[in-house]
Amino acid sequence: MTQARKTVLITGASSGLGAGMARQFAARGYDLALCARRTERLQTLQHELRSAYGVAVEIEALDVNEHAQVFAVFTAFAQRFGRLDRVIVNAGIGEGRRIGTGHFAVNKRTAETNFIAALAQCEAAVEIFRRQNSGHLVVMSSMSAKRGLPRHLTTYAASKAAVAHLAEGIRAELLQTPIQVSTLYPGYIRTELNAGAKKLPFEIPEALGCQYLVQAIERAPHEACVPGWPWALVGRLMQMLPLRWVARFS
């Protein structure tokens, strides 16, 4: 009897790291549940992956800030595939403005998308995993979560620190169960979202970054900086150095 392929659900899968990880998982033979706001991009990706790898790819429109929709879409995917083996909480935004400069709405949107919407995704995923008594929750944080940062990064870094603590709390809750929880801290990976930014320290291209991310996810670590070199060292330095030094180089 042929063993059923495992299924990975990825939010924010229409572009960037979400789409790149979908390609990597499809190449490894996983079936995919992909969701994002831009369904036309999802449809293009669905056709590409089905044609190239022969895996099952199902798509759904999802705005993660519509919290009831998160639960409905995750449940629909679980019913369609029969189970979900891995959920990657990837959807997020990189916007942000200096605190106290009249841009509360932008910072609020960043905090809500990167944390409150991530909470909804984690709740929906873990409900399914509890029913299955198995599963792997993957939460995408950021190296910026390692320290409070100035300028436009302040709210973004705080939201990514919050989601990292959320994942750790879920992991603590589920330590004695078959459910695994991983937190990833990506370094600078060049995608269309930061295409206009200046060259970033230790940056790597999108395809390579997604390869490293999926390799890390497959190991199911509790936590991982991606890529490990030099970001594991950079993360330790960020936590140890005086704040004025961190602020200067962020």
Q: Enter the tokens of residue 237.
A: 């330095």
At 232 the three-state DSSP class reads: helix
In whole angstroms, give the CA distance from residue 190 to residue 199.
9
Q: Which residue in the list 53, 156, 185, 212 is annotated as catalytic? A: 156
How far lies 167's CA from each of 15, 38, 46, 56, 122, in Å?
24, 27, 29, 28, 8
156 is catalytic: yes
The DSSP H or E segment spanning 186 is strand 179-186
How far lies 26's CA from each of 7, 70, 185, 203, 231, in Å?
10, 23, 22, 25, 27
Catalytic positions are 156
